[in-house]
A = this chain, B = another copy of it.
């Protein structure tokens, strides 16, 4: 069942990458925000005369300069963290996997938000953990800063559930710093340090291609975390760690974040305006950060059929079911979907929304009798 789902999603993703398709799925950062010249300068420095560390083996926990930067950023947000607490990982995804393996055994349950990051959900399932609602389970996987896909910070209920449960917390802060108003919620790592395993990444705020993420764990789990990382793949990429470390040392990252927030807020504003215009029956809460808006279409259509018709119309999006661990908790049987405003040029938003509307009209007409079968 999952396998078939996977194959289908995969097919949709590949098709969506074709030229001409307006791809409102994927969650990619805007390539216009990649600091190519600055990264090239950093590369020249780390690979300059006599420099070979960036091409050689390194330590399992990662490059020191980069770990210091991560620690300093987290410390500035109130967490008691030093470079020794940070393990550099191959993106946030690997950090989530190591965190889960540190505190869970096969068969354990993990509480997740009503909508959450599909690759994390899939990874947790693949490792043999059961997904359940927040407040239950031996651990919680959450994105309290800014949730993907909703773009909203943690609700008071979610916070209360996590606080009360006493379970381990895997805090995924991938989008946290991209809260548009810049008023970041306190980290769970700062509030509940003894049971929080913190996951971060440069994928959303710098470039995903560098594959630089990190994991911060309580001291009692540190050695084991390092062993798991080493067993997995020895170490993170020496070269891109060196480039990132050098680049980050030389720039004002908070200024970069301010620019990114304005940039993505402007895109969120434009995309949602076009969607409202073209599809007034769709409902969503305007995102407070991140790359996407989480839409409730208000009608029960066959998700797969809609995605296929949309591709036929030349537009793509992320179907909602991949984000929902337990459909029963979603409180809705209508089709949900994630629309990303992050990487498509805004000049195409209006046309994208029109194509979505045409596809929506077609799928509504196509199989009214099947509406309840989902």
Majority secondary structure of chain A interface residues (helix, strand, loop or mixed): helix
Q: Do A123 and B231 have beta carbons less than 8 Å apart?
A: yes
Say how many copies of this protein the assembly contains. 2
Q: Do B208 and A56 have beta carbons less than 8 Å apart?
A: yes
A239 located at the interface, meaning its Cβ lies under 8 Å from any Cβ of chain B in the complex: yes
* Given A40-B44, A209-B239, A238-B211: A233 and B56 interface contact (C-beta under 8 Å): no
Residue of B nearest to A236 (CB): B211
A39 located at the interface, meaning its Cβ lies under 8 Å from any Cβ of chain B in the complex: yes
Q: Do B210 and A235 have beta carbons less than 8 Å apart?
A: no
Q: Do B240 and A126 have beta carbons less than 8 Å apart?
A: no
Q: Do A6 and B227 have beta carbons less than 8 Å apart?
A: yes
* Given A119-B230, A210-B55, A227-B126: A39 and B47 interface contact (C-beta under 8 Å): yes
Q: Do B56 and A97 have beta carbons less than 8 Å apart?
A: no
Q: Which residues of A contact B (CB under 8 A)?
A: 6-7, 26, 28-29, 31, 34, 36, 39-40, 43-44, 47, 51-58, 89-91, 93-94, 97, 119, 122-123, 126-127, 203, 207-211, 223, 227-228, 230-240, 242-243
Write 27 A-B pairs (CB below 8 A) sorted by A numbering: A6-B227, A28-B57, A31-B52, A36-B51, A40-B44, A55-B207, A55-B209, A55-B210, A56-B208, A58-B209, A90-B90, A90-B233, A93-B231, A97-B231, A97-B232, A97-B233, A122-B231, A123-B232, A126-B231, A127-B231, A207-B239, A208-B238, A209-B239, A210-B239, A211-B235, A232-B232, A239-B240
